[in-house]
Amino acid sequence: MRLSVVLPVHSERESLVFITDKLATLLGDKLHEAIFIVSPSSPGETFAVIEELGKKYPFVRSETQRETPGLGRAVRQGLAAATGTHVLMMDSDGEMNPETVPLMIAKMEETGCDVVVGSRWAAGGGVVGYSPFKYILNRGFQCIFRTLYRTHVHDLTLGFKLVKTEVVKNIAWDSTLHEIAAETTLRPMKKGYRVEEVPTVWVRRQAGTSKNPFRRNFRYVAKALQILLGR
């Protein structure tokens, strides 16, 4: 297994160092490349941090995001650039726990599945810093669409997952914003690929502000329905 890690970046700095150091320690020789897709509007300090990481780690690659704006466009650029046998998708803001990654690898090796999702809602998972309103809406979404997709997977919208590169390259992704997190789970599922999950704890970011305003959550619903209806 040679992992290509796709990390969209906007204004993150300290979390980039933490995530890269942690993945290097946890993954060792399995870490083939860490691909930072950097927004052209990122501050100079962010570019400087990535440059220093590139000097420290030969596996660090960076590309400026060519189509803007949108997280989905950044992720799609990273997926297209990946050259490893497997792709790890995660955010660069520190909300996703790198300690979950070895569990994802073990699950994929154990089951031979095509996708492993980090799940906040599976037994052993959880969230820290969610508003009660967002919590209720998210759980409601998961219950409804788990039924519609007839899946045992508890978390269909977290963009933290390990995917075989052959799956990544065989799907025409089309999300432009944060709904890419749902598409990268639901489209493989709809195409018949095997999707498994491991628990993870999501912790609200400690620095900076989210680029995902609440109204965009409705795009997850639209994307889930679009894929369900075969569009």
pLDDT in tens, 142-172: 999 999 999 999 999 999 999 999 999 999 9
- Give phi and psi for 161, each to the nearest 5: -160, 160
Q: What is the pLDDT of residue 217?
A: 72
pTM listed for this prediction:
0.93
Mean pLDDT over 92-105 rounds to 97
Q: Are 118 and 126 in contact (CB under 8 A)?
A: no
Integer Cα distance of 48 and 66 in angstroms: 19
Mean pLDDT over 200-205 rounds to 91
Mean pLDDT over 34-41 rounds to 97
Mean of the per-residue pLDDT values of the chain: 94
Q: What is the pLDDT of residue 191?
A: 97
Residue range of the domain that includes 88: 3-228
Q: What is the pLDDT of residue 71?
A: 97
Label residue 130 by pLDDT band (50, 70, 90): confident
Mean pLDDT over 28-46 rounds to 97
Instruction: Inform me whether the pLDDT recorded for 206 exceeds 90.
Output: no
Integer Cα distance of 197 and 113 in angstroms: 10
Total number of domains constituting the chain:
1
Taking the alpha carbons at both ends of the chain, their separation in whole angstroms is: 32
Instruction: Inform me whether the pLDDT recorded for 211 exceeds 60.
Output: no
pLDDT in tens, 48-88: 999 999 999 999 999 999 999 999 999 999 999 999 999 99
Amino acid type, 127: V
Mean pLDDT over 27-45 rounds to 97
SS3 161: strand
Q: What is the pLDDT of residue 94?
A: 94
Mean pLDDT over 104-114 rounds to 98
CA angle 140, 87, 193 (to 5 degrees): 60
Integer Cα distance of 104 and 136 in angstroms: 27
Q: What is the pLDDT of residue 215?
A: 63
Q: What is the pLDDT of residue 218?
A: 82
For position 199, which CATH number holds? 3.90.550.10
Q: What is the pLDDT of residue 131?
A: 87
Q: What is the pLDDT of residue 212?
A: 55
